[in-house]
Structure 1
Amino acid sequence: MTYMNDKASPKQLLNSLPLYATVERQVFDGQDLASLRPQQLWFVRCSFVGVDLRHSALDGCSFKLCDLSMAHLRGASLRGVSMAGCNLRAADLRDTDLTAARFSSVNTGTPPHGLTDVTDAKFDNAITRDMKFKQVIGIPSRFI
């Protein structure tokens, strides 16, 4: 990502990126990004392990091969988000709006690599209208 510099916080930088900007190979582990409001960014191979994204508006964002394990997304708006080949193990997705969200895989050529994993993710009280799962590991039985 060519937009990041050391003068602003990661939250300020992400909020200032233009529509559809690509963020690649950035590590946000453990950061406080609560109430983030980016403009439909494309995240590729980024790490958000244990990050605080509560009440963020990530509508239309795309995550490809990203690690969101143990991420705190409670109350976030994830309308139309795309998660392809992502790790969402033990992520907190309670009270999120997942309307039209897509969870899918990425063809890495070596199965089972490239599958999205939602094992132990919490979906309590989430809005799941038109949510789609395709080649995903750990889907809760209520979505099958």
Structure 2
Amino acid sequence: MSRSSSAGTREMLASATYGHSLERLTFDGLQLLSLRLPDLLWLKRCSFVGADLRHATLEGARLILCDLRDADLRGASLRGTAFSGCDLRGADLRGADLRHLRFGSVNTGNADGRTLVTGVRSDRGVDLTTYFEDHQG
């Protein structure tokens, strides 16, 4: 995976268009506050470990096999976002807009391919298992 800077990342993502696909990029630990992704952006095997995505707009994004462990997504708009086979362990989703959010699985051969949400912080009363496409969490 290639490493990006916060400024370079903003420029790259701003130039992406509807339906654009980005693969194997690393955004670990970057400050991406209030980032706005284009509709239906596909992110495949990207890493956002510990990234600050507070108040980011990821509406309609498709994240496949991405690593978002310990990412800060407080106040982010995740409306219509689909996470397939992603690792969200330890991520903070408090105050995030979760309407129409979906967690799914992908066929990864030997691995389970399920989206992982162990230790995710969310608002009181939010049951993240209801967002799984198979409703099994």
TM-score normalised by structure 1 residue count: 0.81
Shift of 1:16: 2.2
Shift of 1:61: 0.3
- Structure 1 stretches lacking a partner, 5+ long: 140-144
Distance 1:29 1:118, change over 3 A: same
- Rounded to whole Å, the distance in 2 between the matches of 1:136 and 1:26 is 30
Identity %: 48
Aligned to 1:84: 84
- Rounded to whole Å, the distance in 1 between the matches of 2:10 and 2:106 is 27
TM-score normalised by structure 2 residue count: 0.85
2:38 counterpart letter in structure 1: Q
Shift of 1:126: 8.5
Aligned to 1:51: 51
Residue deviations 1:15-54 (CA, integer Å, cap 9, x gap): 2211111010000000011101111210000000000100
Shift of 1:110: 2.1
Alignment of 1:27-66 (within 5 A): 27-40=26-39, 41-66=41-66
- Rounded to whole Å, the distance in 1 between the matches of 2:71 and 2:52 is 6
Distance 1:49 1:126, change over 3 A: farther
Aligned to 1:142: none
Residue deviations 1:111-134 (CA, integer Å, cap 9, x gap): 42x111000001115888xx6214
- Rounded to whole Å, the distance in 2 between the matches of 1:92 and 1:136 is 21
Shift of 1:136: 8.2
- Rounded to whole Å, the distance in 2 between the matches of 1:34 and 1:94 is 15
Aligned to 1:20: 19
